[in-house]
Amino acid sequence: MARTLLPPQFPSLTSNSVTNSQPLLRAAAVEDRLRARRSNTYIEAMKRLDAGAHIHDRQALDKFLADIRREFPDIELQHLPLGIVARCYLGAPYEVHTLDQVGQIIDHYKRGESLPPLMERARSLSLYPGYAFVEVYVDKLIAVTEEGDTSIVKG
């Protein structure tokens, strides 16, 4: 099948596109960016959530939130994860722990205890041994392995 030589749409040149710098990614590129491999520093930081002391330590909590911001410097706030859910290695009866950016808390949950509504959907995924943790977004979950590889589940 022969190709057409002229593309159907020409990019339009406006003063905005010429003069504005675009430090933050447009929504279309956000998912590609979020799919990128996570850095070792970030993964190590998220794994330290398991230490119970952070529940009451405001400084440590702020550091975690800063770690998330540092991992995604080019992504707008509304596209950042709402929180993190991970398997809890404190042992029974604890099953998972969460970092909730919205409520700004870290919590440990027992088996059978419900998580906040948006986080509950990540629970079963976070228990899979191959994932270090699961990032919770408004419209998706991103499961992250120990090596930093990501998998996206919509919904």
Partner 1 sequence: MSDSAIGVAELAAIYSGLKAIKGEINVVSTQLDSVGQEVESTRSDLSRLEEAFLEFVESDKKAKELSLAETRQVKVRQELETKFGHYAEVRRQVTGILQAADISLVRQETIRFATEGLMLNAPRYWLAPALVALAGWLSNNKDLATKAVNEAVRRDDEKTSLFFALITRRAARANACSVWLGRYFGLQNPEKLDRQTIVLIDAVASGIFSTEVRASCAKTLDDWVQELSQRAGFVDEQRKQWTDALISKMPSTDNGGRYPHLKKYSLTWQKLSDSLNAVAIHAVALDYFQGIYDGAIPPSPTLAAAVDELLDKLVGNFDDQELPLRRNDRLYQLIIDENGDRNAAQSKFDLESKALDEHLSFTQLLTNAAMHPETSHASRATQRFAIALSKKWIKDAHGDLGAEIRRAVPTDTDISIEDWHGVTKDGDNEGDLARSLTEHLKKREADAVASIGLESQHWIALVVGIGCLLFVGKSLLFGAIGIGFLIWFYTSYSGLKKKRDKVSENYAKLGGEALQVVKACLAEVVEYRREFAKRDAAAPEFSKLLDGISPEQYVLHSHDKTRQIISR
Residues that bind partner 1 (CB under 8 A): 1-4, 28, 31-32, 35, 121, 123-125, 128, 130, 141, 143, 149-153
d(CA 85, CA 144): 11
Task: Please identify, using beta-carbon distances, which residue of 2 and 77 lies nearer to partner 1.
Answer: 2
Task: Please identify, using beta-carbon distances, which residue of 31 and 67 lies nearer to partner 1.
Answer: 31
CA-closest candidate to residue 39, choices 149, 155, 152, 125: 149
Task: Please identify, using beta-carbon distances, which residue of 90 and 152 lies nearer to partner 1.
Answer: 152
> Is the peptide bond prior to 23 cis by the omega test (within 30 degrees of 0)?
no
* Positions of E strands within the chain: 83-87, 94-100, 105-110, 131-136, 140-145, 150-154
For the CB of residue 146, give the shortest distance to partner 1 in the complex, in Å.
Answer: 11
For the CB of residue 152, give the shortest distance to partner 1 in the complex, in Å.
Answer: 5
d(CA 131, CA 110): 19
Q: In the chain, how long is the greatest CA-to-CA distance?
A: 66
Task: Please identify, using beta-carbon distances, which residue of 25 and 51 lies nearer to partner 1.
Answer: 25
For the CB of residue 59, give the shortest distance to partner 1 in the complex, in Å.
Answer: 33
Which residues on neighbouring strands pair with residue 83, listed in sequence order? 100, 136
For the CB of residue 56, give the shortest distance to partner 1 in the complex, in Å.
Answer: 30
For the CB of residue 58, give the shortest distance to partner 1 in the complex, in Å.
Answer: 33
Task: Please identify, using beta-carbon distances, which residue of 64 and 131 lies nearer to partner 1.
Answer: 131
